[in-house]
Amino acid sequence: MSTIRNVGIVGAGQMGCGIAHVCAAAGYKVQLYDLSMERIEAGLATIHGNLARQVSSGKMSEEERKAALSRIKGSNDVNDLSQADLVIEAATEDETVKRKIYGQVCPVLKPDAILATNTSSLSITRLASATDRAERFMGIHFMNPVPVMKLVELVRGIATEEVTFTTAKEFVATLDKTVTVAEDFPAFIVNRILLPMINEAIYTLYEGVGTVDAIDTAMKLGANHPMGPLQLADFIGLDTCLSIMQVLYEGLADSKYRPCPLLVKYVEAGWLGRKSGRGFYDYRGEVPVPTR
């Protein structure tokens, strides 16, 4: 079985930085790669802040925080991934973008390196076909926010070898995460169940059954959800929600997965949720205010 010591991460966004954080905290050397040094620097600052919060809440010591930070290096040179035993791609949820990344990353990887994707919905088998190592390719899907959420979905493609799967499973266990194994169907387990619920909440708003506040309050107090579905959609990103619903709708050819027109309209407006300042709530003031 492959021994993983060095982890490469492609993409210094919210997910990539979260994965870098937990890997470094678990003792792995981490190479964070992105085309933009600006994004890398912003990402490292986020990791710095999140680790500091873990110290203040008693989850780690100051020495552990410093040690974790010392294990993370950022770079915009793809060749710096050449020593990685495992590379996790955490780029945007766009198949064309991911395929392009694999074309750039695969030539610099060690022959026995495992390549994984953090995709939340796309076909692992299809993505693997864009690499030179389908046998050593699989889905390792972390949940957002990565340092807090305990679950990781492991997804094999049709060509994924058993040793790749076993290595990934043991690696995830060292991060103090719980594994659930999903088959390679659109959106896997969590998003196959979660996103249609969010989409239905948006239809409930679209059809005037309830306001944003009424819908979120109903699900928090009536179903004991920690966060209302529209608030959660804003947290995930409405563009990501739409992308996953489109994968479900196209991949399963069932009208029940049709993205709500209101979701499409919000994404077209650039109202993507928290990250853009507006979604089902307006985040530009001190307190989020419903936009409908």
- Tokens read off for 193: 């169940």
Q: Cα–Cα distances in Å, from 124 out to 45, 69, 172?
A: 31, 31, 18
Q: Cα–Cα distances in Å, from 278 out to 107, 157, 158, 203, 261?
A: 40, 37, 40, 19, 17
The SS3 assignment for 222 reads helix
Task: Identify the active-site residue in 21, 118, 153, 243.
Answer: 153
Residue 35 per-residue DSSP state? S
**63 catalytic, yes or no?**
no
The SS3 assignment for 289 reads strand
Among candidate residues 159, 21, 148, 158, the one with its CA nearest the CA of residue 90: 21
Task: Identify the active-site residue in 50, 123, 191, 199.
Answer: 191
**Chain centroid to CA 37:** 20
Burial of 196 (0-12, 13-18, 19+ CB in 10 A): middle
Q: What are φ and ψ of residue 156, in 5° steps?
A: -90, 145
Among candidate residues 60, 56, 136, 93, the one with its CA nearest the CA of residue 245: 93
3-state helix, strand, coil in the chain (%, to 5): 50, 15, 35
Task: Identify the active-site residue in 2, 118, 121, 141.
Answer: 141
CA torsion angle for 252, 136, 39, 241 (degrees, to 10)?
10
Task: Identify the active-site residue in 120, 121, 199, 243.
Answer: 120
Q: Which residues pair with 278 in a beta bridge?
A: 273, 282
**225 catalytic, yes or no?**
no
**183 catalytic, yes or no?**
no
Residue 126 corresponds to which amino acid? R
Task: Give me the active site residues, please.
Answer: 120, 141, 153, 191
